[in-house]
Amino acid sequence: MMSLPSDLTTTRQEHLTALVEARVGENTYLDFKRDLPSRDARGTQDLVADVSAFANSTGGDLIYGIDEDGEGQASRIVPQAGNMDEEVRRVQDVLMNNIEPRVPGLQVISIAVEAGFVLVIRVPQSWAGPHRVRTNNAFYLRENGRKRTLEVPEIRGLFLRSDQQAQRVRDFRTERLGQILSGGAPHRIVDGALLVGHFVPTQAALGGVNVDPVLYMRQRSLPVLGNTIPGARVNVDGALVVRNPRSDGTFGYSQFFRNGFFETVKVLSGFGANPATLGSVAYERELISLVRQFREECTHLGIGTEMTCMLSLLRATNLELGINRWDYNLDDHQGRFDRDTLILADVLLPAELDADKALRPVFDYVWQAAGMERSFNYSEAGDWAPR
């Protein structure tokens, strides 16, 4: 079945022309609209109903700027007029404010064509739904190329599906932490406290990703905390990169699983009798860099860059947050972690936010686990600006 590229950002006029020349028909995954949604209440209602229907079903592409004949087949490109960047922002705002909960992984792009542009909304099948339209409190489903409202039993079924998919992500984290704590990591690691990050792209959570690990043996590199390493090893799980391996183990590794899930581990060791330290600026800088690099890799693979971040601290009883205690006038308990295993809440990193801004809730959780109010590496304006 002909469709737009898996990496939507690479779509060009020739892809749209191919849809028209092939007389591709509307279906469960594809919907054509001659004109952009109007700015009135009816236009808003139609837009959010169409998008929520895709999200509650199997996902798909909504294309504004292709006309269809009476049988639902693409017949011609209809260039849209106006400022295409402003239209993208308008549509994004409408979708953000009128669908509940927010649909993860949405992409809205404009494609320049002769005499104007075409606007495309790519909607992934959602594991955060079902999604309700705020303007009329209705739930929609896409079926046989059309949308319809859901009946109560169907809504219950979607809630169950959503819970199962979210549980799949949580189970992955639980299983991996158990493996690491029991000595089952993919490479031997030296003794010490551990900073563990798990990143699950939304598209991977839906089961739509298959990574070829052989690419990372020579052609691609993978990030670990504090570095980027080429020449991955291939194992049964996927591609593995190891940081400075020694006979007694390594201080860090990253495992890119075949299903698109990503794990990174860093050992935090003390010196002599001194406790191990989680550098309050250093680890945040390293995580920001890692997320940026992993997003680049997802883009290369045609995977959406929205993802869930799950951070954990293992063997953390003797771990301290690396801050100057005199600067913050701390109580004795502040700056120290009060338990051996810290499983921090999972956080959705929206694709449209820069990594430093998207990770702020994650960093706040870490500082709060050490008895602090929040990460003080952010300015009042919300910018990452360590002292």
Q: Are residues 143 and 174 in the same domain?
A: no
Domain boundary among 86, 113, 147: 147
pLDDT band at residue 171 using 50, 70 and 90 as cut-offs:
confident
Q: Are residues 323 and 296 in the same domain?
A: yes
Phi-psi domain of 362 (left: phi exceeds 0; alpha: psi -120 through 50; beta: other): alpha
Q: What confidence tens digit (pLDDT) does each residue in 255-289 have?
A: 999 999 999 999 997 665 677 889 989 999 999 99
Helix-strand-coil split of the chain, %, nearest 5: 30, 30, 40
Q: What confidence tens digit (pLDDT) does each residue in 25-65 have?
A: 888 889 999 999 999 989 999 999 999 999 888 788 999 99
Residue 81 inside a domain? The answer is yes
Q: Are residues 231 and 168 in the same domain?
A: yes
C-alpha 298/C-alpha 289 separation (Å) is 14
Residue 152 inside a domain? The answer is no
Q: Are residues 209 and 277 in the same domain?
A: yes
Q: Are residues 117 and 170 in the same domain?
A: no
Percentage, residues of the chain above pLDDT 70: 94
Residue 387 inside a domain? The answer is no
Domain boundary among 91, 123, 147: 147
Q: Are residues 116 and 220 in the same domain?
A: no
Number of domains in the chain: 2
C-alpha 307/C-alpha 45 separation (Å) is 28
Question: What's the mean per-residue pLDDT of the chain?
Answer: 88
Q: Which domain holds residue 199?
A: 160-369
We report the CATH number of the domain holding residue 48 as 3.30.950.30
Q: Are residues 130 and 194 in the same domain?
A: no
Residue 374 inside a domain? The answer is no
Residue 101 inside a domain? The answer is yes
Residue 18 inside a domain? The answer is yes
Q: Are residues 81 and 203 in the same domain?
A: no
Residue 139 inside a domain? The answer is yes
Q: Are residues 103 and 186 in the same domain?
A: no
Contact 186, 262 (CB under 8 A): no
Domain boundary among 147, 173, 206: 147
Q: Are residues 340 and 245 in the same domain?
A: yes
- Phi, psi angles (nearest 5°) of residue 240: -125, 130
Percentage, residues of the chain above pLDDT 90: 52
- What does the pLDDT read at residue 1? 52
Residue 246 inside a domain? The answer is yes
Q: Are residues 172 and 291 in the same domain?
A: yes
Q: What confidence tens digit (pLDDT) does each residue in 299-326 have?
A: 888 887 888 899 999 998 888 888 876 7
- What does the pLDDT read at residue 213? 96
H-run or E-run covering 365:
helix 360-369
- Residues β-bridged to residue 143: 146
Contact 384, 356 (CB under 8 A): yes
- What does the pLDDT read at residue 2? 60
Q: Are residues 190 and 303 in the same domain?
A: yes
